[in-house]
Every structure is written in C-alpha cells, then in structure tokens.
C-alpha cells in the first residue's frame, strides 16, 4: 500500500516517519520524500493510528489525488533546488521537467498548484531558491557568483535583484544584519 504524506522535506522527516510506522508494527518497504510503500494494506483502525502519529509529528496523510500531485510537484522542486539532486537536465526548464515527471500539461499543473497553494509554481521555485541562498550565505563558503551558477541564474546580479525583491534586503545586508532568519522548507 502506498501512502502520500505532506510536509516530508528532509532526511530527518524520512527517519521520523519510518520510526513512527514501524512503532505501529507496519513494514516499510520503501520510503522517500512524500511517499511510503508499506507491505500489505491498512485496516481502518491502523489508518487512524497512522494518521494520528503523522499529525503529531507535523505531517499529513494525503487522500485527495490533486493534493498528492501538488505535493509530488513540491518534492520534485525541493529535490532539485534544496538537495541538488540534479535529476533535471541542465538545458530543461522546470515547466517541461514537471510536465514530464507528472504526466500532465504544464498549464494544468500550474493551475492546480496555484489553486491549491495560493502561489504560482514559479513563486514556489523562487522561494525555494532564496532559502537555499540564505543557507549558503550562512555558511560563508561560496561567493554570490558561485551561488548564482549553482542555482542556474544568468548572473550574480540577477540573483541579487531577485533576493532583494523577495526578502527586502541585498544578500550582503541579509548576511550582515538579518540574523540569518530562515524558514523551514515546509513553510516556504
């Protein structure tokens, strides 16, 4: 049985979900961000227990196919931007990539994403990229040019302008004055 789970955004999330499911005596066959494959099926009682355990840890069991698709899109974007999985060919834009992976026209995906989340796919991608920039700025190991290149921007200036538009600060001001306040990925 496959479960779709909202708010799984990192390796710790995978660990927590696995531990909670195994504590209920369930066998996890495969687990990745946003989904778990269990051996067998769940009884109604087990399903309620799973739902309660997940919610207690900030996760949500998804049953609506539209929400499952939106969460899958978020997972693909997070994998690309936050975890640098490099699954998307460098020359392929996100709209083509999402269409290919999800099996729907991008216009359908974009409309569904906006209607469900209240923001466009592009805004979500930019927000993820800005959070990644904040992370790298906090480390102080990369120049803006290196950060821009890693995130696929045409220049450090373009990234800097987008960063300021989103945060209200230049990257330099953020690093110096903002106390490096970052959002968790499920809040982006």
Would the pLDDT of 22 be above 90?
yes
pLDDT (tens digit per residue) in 76-103: 999 888 877 656 666 678 899 999 999 9
Q: For position 186, what pLDDT does the model report?
A: 60
Domains of the chain, earliest start first: 2-62 (3.30.70.100), 65-119 (no CATH), 123-187 (1.10.10.60)
Q: Given the structure tokens 């699954």, which residue do they identify?
A: 87
| Residue of 149, 180, 185, 167 lying closest to 77 (CA atoms) | 185
Look over the chain and give the mean of its residue pLDDT values, rounded to a whole number.
Answer: 88
Would the pLDDT of 129 be above 90?
yes
CB 80 within 8 A of CB 88: yes
């Amino acid at each position: 049985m496959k479960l779709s789970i909202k708010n799984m955004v990192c390796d710790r999330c995978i660990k927590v979900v696995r531990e909670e499911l195994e504590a209920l005596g369930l066998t996890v066959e495969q687990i990745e961000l946003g989904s778990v494959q269990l051996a067998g099926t769940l009884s109604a009682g087990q399903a309620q227990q799973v739902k309660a355990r997940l919610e207690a840890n900030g996760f949500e069991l998804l049953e609506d196919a539209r929400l499952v698709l939106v969460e899958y899109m978020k997972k693909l974007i997070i994998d690309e931007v936050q975890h640098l999985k490099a699954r998307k060919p460098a020359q392929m834009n996100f709209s083509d990539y999402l269409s290919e992976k999800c099996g729907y026209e991008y216009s359908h995906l974009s409309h569904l994403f906006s209607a469900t989340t209240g923001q466009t796919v592009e805004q979500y991608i930019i927000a993820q990229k800005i959070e990644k920039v904040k992370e790298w700025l906090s480390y102080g190991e990369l120049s803006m040019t290196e950060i821009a290149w890693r995130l696929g921007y045409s220049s450090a200036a373009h990234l800097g302008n987008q960063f300021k538009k989103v945060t209200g600060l230049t990257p330099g001001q953020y690093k110096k004055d903002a106390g490096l306040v970052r959002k968790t990925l499920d809040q982006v």
